[in-house]
Structure 1
Amino acid sequence: MNWISEWALPKIKTLFGASREVPENLWHKCPACEQMIFHRDLERNLHVCTHCGHHMRISAARRLECTFDPGFSRIELPKVPADPLRFRDQRRYADRLREAQVKAAMDDAVAVAHGAIEGQRAVVAAFEFAFMGGSMGAGVGEAIVTAARLAVLQDAPLIVFTASGGARMQEGAVSLMQMPRTVIATRLVKEAGLPFIVVMCDPTTGGVTASFAMLGDIHIAEPGAMIGFAGARVIEQTVREKLPEGFQRAEYLLEHGILDMVVKRGEMRETLARVIGLLREPLLTQPERAPAAAEASNVIALPTPEAPAPAAS
């Protein structure tokens, strides 16, 4: 059989040309229905499964692209101490942080940009879950505060897309202090009379849920997003009861009044523009009422029932 490998195969390769390597990641498997989706179809559908409609996680950069009109601008966020506690577990926190920055091409887990959404001005902060689980440290807190100040400066609503596992344990109490800081940031926006809209993506948990994520004027979520504080297993062990089906999912929270709406990713941009328009445009003034005399002339008097005759004594 040596003549096949030594003579025939080289002749065939020479005749038809060298074989090209097949690029990786041409097909993606949906984590919900396990169907294979061609990468171009998945990108065209904003990373929503074309078979079952499952909303996959997307990057913060892609989130900004599919939310804003063309021409938006990302802003550079203030620098914060990289490793304030010199934390180390199995690896140094500084090494984990550098690795996440290279992987996500971001300084921290939030990207902030300003621009227009179907003509409506807005400031948007988007979480990057691939950056250490979107955990909230000093950098994330600074990003939310900066976004709030920019919204007030530009007289524009603030929209935050959340996707986070909660506080960043490697920063300890510094991370926990970002909860009141982000709450104060939301107060800056509201005191300026500007809308604060929170779009909760999968997952939104922990300290993010326990702070600014539940303080929006409007709460929106993507279909199937997991939203809560503690995990379902921890809650079951605490209350010693079986949780309902779909507990901590967007549809369940909408049914129980925690959310205002659940919106598909393909309809999110249009929905945000409509909500901003409703919140920002002044209400139409009602026409002046006619004088009382004119109103009285148009009133039709209804006959009143006659009083019964007195009974004969």
Structure 2
Amino acid sequence: MNWITNVVRPKIRSILRRETPENLWIKCPDSGQLVFYKDVESNQFVIPGSNYHMRMGAVARLKSIFDNETWFDVAVPDVTPDPLKFRDERKYVDRIKDARAKTNLNDSVKVGYGKLEGAPAVVVVQDFDFMGGSLGMAAGEAIVKGLELAVEKRSPCIVFAASGGARMQEGILSLMQLPRTTVAVQILREAKLPYIVVLTNPTTGGVTASYAMLGDVQIAEPGALIGFAGARVIEQTIREKLPEGFQRAEYLKDHGMIDMVVHRHELRPTLARLCRLLMKAPAVEVQAPKSAPADALPPPDPAVIAAPPA
């Protein structure tokens, strides 16, 4: 009897068992609705029933913005991977390795150069899945590089912010990225080129205290958490109960902190219109062919552009 129970039955179960992907279903944090992952992915990671905006990876974000889902990856200068030899429960270098394996990104910021409704644009995207989108030396270099490339190419720069703040494992070197990125934004502004920021969920900490709130136009996705300190810290400091919806995109728009709250499905045409307006470019008739023609992208610069993504 033990042989049947311990050997035969497990073998039968292993034969009949079907492997189910872990992300086959997604549960909406707002309504609790269960949705197929493929349905959410095809809907730009917006839950169809509740319109809840899930977090969107850097590559998926670039695909949703650029024409024909095609762009050039911008090469970013290398930095010292662990300047402080930091260690808490684990080594910092091990955390970086795990984050790179999880996201297939070098760091929390990815920069792309391509066309948005026929016009060249530089798009800088933070990926929250990479150590909470934290701002370290590599991320700071990527943001500065994107802003410098926009000046060089005389094109708008669009930044998608998603971060928990500065990266503590890099200490003061992380905090130095706040003034560095602010200076780079000022250089773009002196060149009279548009700087548009899209605040996604969440955008907090030192990122909010620097380049994320310096846009010529401040856009936010619906329901995005935007702030510097957490709500609980603020309540303990001022000893008052905060109003409902405090630090959410809609609340900030009502109180003049941001300009627009735009649904993700409307984000691409909205950004294209803003770029044309701020660049004083004429309106164009948008066509979306299935395959990208040979001249669909601006000519690459070998000094700053890497190979197109696989």
Q: Distance in 2 between matches of 1:234 and 1:24?
A: 35
Pair 99,20 (structure 1): closer, same or farther in 2 beyond 3 Å? closer
Match of 1:311 in 2: none
Match of 2:44 in 1: 46
Structure (1 or 2) with the larger CA radius of gyration: 1
Match of 1:55 in 2: 53
Match of 1:251 in 2: 250
- Superposed counterparts of 1:1-313, under 5 Å: 20-70=18-68, 71-281=70-280
Local SS of the residue matching 2:67:
coil
Identical counterparts, % of pairs: 57
Local SS of the residue matching 1:186:
helix
Deviation for aligned residue 1:253: 0.3
Amino acid at match of 1:128: D
Q: Distance in 2 between matches of 1:45 and 1:27?
A: 14
Amino acid at match of 1:175: S
Local SS of the residue matching 1:223:
coil
- Deviations, residues 81-128 of structure 1 (Å, cap 9, x unaligned): 001111111111111111111111111100000111111211000001
Pair 19,209 (structure 1): closer, same or farther in 2 beyond 3 Å? closer
Deviation for aligned residue 1:18: 6.4
Greater alpha carbon shift after TM alignment, 250-259 vs 66-75 = 66-75
TM-score (norm 1): 0.84
Local SS of the residue matching 2:179:
helix
Pair 22,140 (structure 1): closer, same or farther in 2 beyond 3 Å? closer
Amino acid at match of 1:109: S
Q: Distance in 2 between matches of 1:213 and 1:145?
A: 13
Amino acid at match of 2:240: E
Pair 264,18 (structure 1): closer, same or farther in 2 beyond 3 Å? same
Greater alpha carbon shift after TM alignment, 219-228 vs 21-30 = 21-30
- Deviations, residues 22-61 of structure 1 (Å, cap 9, x unaligned): 4442211111111010122111111111111110101111
- Deviations, residues 62-96 of structure 1 (Å, cap 9, x unaligned): 11010111221112211100011111111111111
Local SS of the residue matching 2:266:
helix
Greater alpha carbon shift after TM alignment, 70-79 vs 138-147 = 70-79
Q: Distance in 1 between matches of 2:238 and 2:98?
A: 39
Pair 37,282 (structure 1): closer, same or farther in 2 beyond 3 Å? closer
What is the alpha-carbon root mean square deviation over aligned residues?
2.4
Structure 2: segments with no counterpart, 5+ residues:
283-310
Deviation for aligned residue 1:153: 0.9
TM-score (norm 2): 0.85
Q: Distance in 2 between matches of 1:251 and 1:136?
A: 25
Count how many residue pairs are aligned between Structure 1 and Structure 2.
279
Q: Distance in 2 between matches of 1:175 and 1:259?
A: 26
Q: Distance in 1 between matches of 2:107 and 2:24?
A: 29
Match of 1:288 in 2: none
Deviation for aligned residue 1:205: 0.4
- Deviations, residues 177-210 of structure 1 (Å, cap 9, x unaligned): 0000000110111111100000000000000000
Greater alpha carbon shift after TM alignment, 216-225 vs 100-109 = 100-109
Local SS of the residue matching 1:88:
coil
Higher RCO (CA 8 Å, separation ≥ 6 residues): 2
Q: Distance in 2 between matches of 1:18 and 1:82?
A: 47
Deviation for aligned residue 1:19: 6.4
